[in-house]
């Protein structure tokens, strides 16, 4: 009899934890992050190694610009599942966001680990597109003294061309824009639009025409072309 009572008690705990997780996940999907956070924290009280709950809490911390909190959550994921590439990517992203907000000395302290995290992501998942984008930004933004390099940025853009031609051309355009080679950037964005025609590709073209090239006529044509393409 006592074994039956124990089983029922254990089953009720598991059911409670699952219910909390499902409720929290639904709240997260609705953008109700504060409510979701409280429930995910309750899930962790029942199961401190619940991977998805830890990941959601890290993501919620990012949403609230709480970089240090996120930086505390993501390493737990890496420790629990060290072969999961996306955990390293998210950790590197949190370090990058803290570097951006924290000023020069904070950035100097964190950029090495940030780069290592993105490289580890690619080592674990050679097809990881976002990690390559992150490394392109790293090599563009970091001063040459600390490893910044157009050559290395172009290397990852070349890899993107092979994995995802659209991302490859967009990244080539991004590099050209950074170095104010706007006409070359335009050509790369045109190739991306021709390949895909997504909102993102048109958006890159539009921003280039409006902000950099000051070609309002071309900007208007881009908007019209996108609207025509996406008529319901």
Distances (CA, A) of 117 to 78, 156, 213: 11, 15, 36
In the chain, which ranges are E strands? none
pLDDT confidence of residue 18? 55
Which pair of tokens denotes residue 29?
């999907």
Confidence bin at 214 (pLDDT 50/70/90): confident
**How much is the average pLDDT of 176-184?**
95
* Distant-in-sequence, close-in-space partners of 122: CB < 8 Å, separation ≥ 6: 85, 128, 131, 132, 135
Which pair of tokens denotes residue 94?
């949190």
Please give the Cα distance from 166 to 172 (Å, whole number).
10
pLDDT confidence of residue 4? 53
pLDDT confidence of residue 11? 47
> Are 60 and 72 spatial neighbours (Cβ–Cβ below 8 Å)?
no
The residue ranking higher by pLDDT, 33 or 220, is 33
Confidence bin at 15 (pLDDT 50/70/90): very low
Which H or E run contains 209? none
The pLDDT tens digits of the residues spanning 81-140 come to 999 999 999 999 999 999 988 888 888 889 999 999 999 999 999 999 999 999 999 999
- Model confidence at 148: pLDDT above 50: yes
> Are 53 and 24 spatial neighbours (Cβ–Cβ below 8 Å)?
yes
Please give the Cα distance from 16 to 8 (Å, whole number).
12
The residue among 218, 154, 211 whose CA lies nearest residue 190 is 218
pLDDT confidence of residue 14? 47
DSSP one-letter string for 123-156: HH-TT-HHHHHHHHHHHHHS-GGGT--HHHHHHH
Which pair of tokens denotes residue 219?
């900007």
pLDDT confidence of residue 183? 93
Angle at 49 between CA 43 and CA 50, to 5 degrees: 50
* Distant-in-sequence, close-in-space partners of 210: CB < 8 Å, separation ≥ 6: 216, 219
Distances (CA, A) of 83 to 47, 124, 183: 21, 7, 42
* 3-state class (DSSP) for residue 74: helix
The pLDDT tens digits of the residues spanning 48-79 come to 999 999 999 999 999 999 999 999 999 999 99
Count CB-CB contacts under 10 A for residue 51. 14
């Amino acid at each position: 009899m006592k074994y039956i009572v124990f089983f029922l008690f254990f089953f009720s705990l598991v059911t409670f934890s699952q219910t909390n997780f499902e409720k929290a996940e639904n709240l997260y999907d609705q953008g109700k992050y504060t409510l979701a956070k409280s429930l995910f924290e309750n899930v962790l009280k029942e199961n401190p190694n619940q991977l998805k709950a830890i990941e959601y809490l890290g993501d919620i911390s990012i949403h609230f610009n709480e970089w240090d909190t996120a930086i505390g959550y993501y390493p737990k994921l890496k420790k629990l599942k060290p072969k999961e590439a996306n955990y390293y990517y998210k950790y590197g992203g949190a370090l990058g966001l803290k570097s951006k907000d924290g000023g020069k000395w904070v950035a100097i302290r964190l950029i090495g680990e940030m780069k290592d995290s993105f490289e580890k992501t690619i080592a674990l998942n050679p097809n990881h597109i976002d990690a390559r984008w992150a490394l392109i930004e790293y090599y563009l933004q970091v001063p040459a003294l600390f490893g910044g390099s157009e050559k290395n940025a172009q290397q990852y853009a070349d890899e993107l061309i092979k994995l995802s031609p659209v991302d490859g051309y967009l990244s080539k355009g991004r590099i050209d824009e950074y170095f104010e080679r706007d006409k070359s950037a335009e050509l790369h964005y045109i190739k991306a639009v021709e390949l895909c025609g997504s909102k993102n590709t048109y958006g890159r073209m539009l921003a280039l025409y409006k902000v950099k090239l000051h070609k309002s006529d071309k900007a208007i044509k881009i908007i019209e072309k996108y609207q025509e393409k996406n008529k319901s």
